Amino acid sequence: MTTARRTHGFRESVIRGMTRLAREYNSINLAQGFPNFPAPDLLKEAAIRAVRDDINQYAITWGAQRLREALARKYATWYAIAADPEREITVTCGATEAMIATLLALVNPGDEVIVFEPFYENYGPDTILADARPVYVPLEPSGPLDLDRLASAFSPRTRAIIVNTPSNPAGRVLTRAELEAIRDLCVRYDALAVTDEIYEHIRFWGEHIPIATLPGMRERTVTISGASKTFSVTGWRVGWIVAPAALTDAIRKVHDFLTVGAPAPLQEGVAVALDQLDESFYASLAEGYRGRRDLLHAALVESGFKCEPPEGAYYILADYSGLSELDDTAFAVWLSREVGVTPVPGSSFFSRGGERSLVRFVFCKTSDVLEEAARRLRGTAGQRGSGAERTEEPAVRSGLQR
Ligand code: GLN
């Protein structure tokens, strides 16, 4: 039997593939970005209570009333964004569903969608599933967004730009000036901004500015975020969208037919966390991540990698060219198998891979795990990926396909 052509246009997720490989080699998984530490008790207790109280049937398709109201309060206090919970807020199965539902609802076949590169690997397939064409603009870990490159990517065919800040995997927190430049182009070309603000509370520098707050943007922005990273519950699959009513209407139709709704009792848990956790929770979340970032960054530099400490999110993109001449997939697999630390090959974050010597590590792990990873990595400076592993590459690559 044949399969649909649209699925031939992209590769499977390398991030999820590396997680499977880490399990196989019993290696420390610094590939997929999920925390290994517990979620706040208050959130867990509220979800358990909801199950016990039999909040076990579908919530309203676009989200439990209580969660939409809690979100409206938070967007008002955090960012002075007034959002109507009845007409402008939609709860989804994670930010992942929010992004694909938004693109399916708002982008026409043949439209162009601007994506910063390196990118979170879902955006390319999301765009292709929406029959649109991704147009890539570089956003490096160090250095500002190249505004000339950005301007030349926009055209009358541009329907939307995906704005992910703090960014995965570059770790950039976009500045007000960068966001204003994006705003000016969106207005000039009548394009939408579709954001991914899932790391909004994990920042080590600067301020989080939702692009929706810039003059002229509220009516053309779809703001996406979720509970996964802020409350360390990536498996709960609770995300959300804030968008003007007309856009929300279209997005809700797609969302309804895709998933009907996010898990009802977990939505209650997230609502309680949003209402009850105060500023100190968010401050200590960022502080905890700062310590983990510094630990992993120091270990990588001491081990011979070249990398910048990120401004936000919980990833480090590291250059291993001083350590090995292997290509990035072979190096990542070698590191996983021989050193016992699993990263993601950098090419998974670029439209055209191959020539760069980059791998991505996560630091959303407790310090005991990061310290053990650091100890193993420091040992690599002596070992070096020699190239002998190339003979095993085909088997390893097919291992990634599972
Ligand atoms: N966003 C995380 C990452 O980039 C998790 C991805 C996923 O598997 N959903 O690793």
| Predicted pLDDT of residue 29 | 98
Q: In angstroms, what is the span from residue 230 Cα to ligand 1's centroid? A: 14
SS3 160: strand
- Each residue of 112-134: b (16+ CB within 10 Å) or e? bbbbbbbbbbbbbbbbbbbebeb
Tokens matching residue 330 = 């072979």
**34 Cα nearest atom in ligand 1:** 5
Provide the pLDDT for residue 382: 62
User: Is residue 212's pLDDT more than 90?
Assistant: yes
The alpha carbon of 232 and the centre of ligand 1 are apart by a number of angstroms equal to 13
Q: Which residues contact 324 (CB under 8 A, 6 or more apart)?
A: 331, 334, 357, 384, 385, 386, 387
CA of 57 to the centre of ligand 1 (A): 28
Cβ of residue 33 lying under 6 Å from some atom of ligand 1: yes
Q: Given ligand 1 and candidates 234, 349, 361, which is best to mutate, with the most ligand atoms within 8 Å of its CB?
A: 234
Residue 383's pLDDT is 66
pLDDT band at 390 (very low <50, low <70, confident <90, very high): very low
Q: Euclidean distance between the first and final Cα of the chain, in Å?
A: 20
pLDDT tier for residue 380 given thresholds of 50, 70 and 90: confident
Average pLDDT over residues 261-290: 98
Q: Does the N-terminal peptide bond of residue 394 adopt cis geometry, omega within 30 degrees of 0?
A: no
In what order do the strands lie in the sheet containing 192-196? 89-92, 239-242, 221-226, 192-196, 158-164, 112-117, 133-138
Distance CA 112, CA 306 (A): 34
Q: What pLDDT digit, counting tens, does each position of 15-25 carry?
A: 999 999 999 99
**For residues 334, 33, 94 and 201, what is the CA-based torsion angle, rounded to 10 degrees?**
-160
Atom of ligand 1 nearest to the CA of 362: 10
Nearest-CA residue for ligand 1 atom 2 is 33
Please tell me the distance between residue 3's alpha carbon and the centre of ligand 1 in angstroms. Answer: 26
CA dihedral 97, 102, 108, 114 (to 10 degrees): -90
Is the CB of residue 171 below 6 angstroms from any atom belonging to ligand 1? no
Shortest-distance Cα residue to atom 5 of ligand 1? 33
- Under a CB-based contact definition with an 8 Å cutoff, are residues 361 and 30 in contact? yes
The alpha carbon of 119 and the centre of ligand 1 are apart by a number of angstroms equal to 11
CATH 1.10.30.50 fits 5-39+280-400, yes or no: no
Ligand 1 pocket, residue 120 CB under 6 Å: yes
340-372 residue pLDDT tens: 999 999 999 999 865 789 999 999 999 999 999
Our answer on whether the CB atom of 15 is closer than 6 Å to any ligand 1 atom is yes
The amino acid that residue 10 corresponds to is F
| Domain regions of the chain by residue span | 5-39+280-400, 41-276
Distance 32 CA to ligand 1 centre (A): 5
Q: What is the pTM of this model?
A: 0.94
Strand partners, 317: 360
Mean pLDDT of the chain: 94
Give the CA dihedral 376, 378, 383, 389, nearest 10 degrees.
50
Single-letter residue type at 254? V
CB atoms within 10 A of CB 344: 30
Distance CA 311, CA 297 (A): 12
CATH class of 41-276: alpha beta
Q: Which residue has the higher pLDDT, 305 or 385?
A: 305
pLDDT number for residue 6: 84
167 CA → ligand 1 middle, Å: 12
Strand-pair partners of 341: 28
Angle at 363 between CA 360 and CA 366, to 5 degrees: 150
Q: Stretch 364-388: mean pLDDT, rounded?
A: 83
Q: How many CB atoms lie within 10 A of CB 402?
A: 9
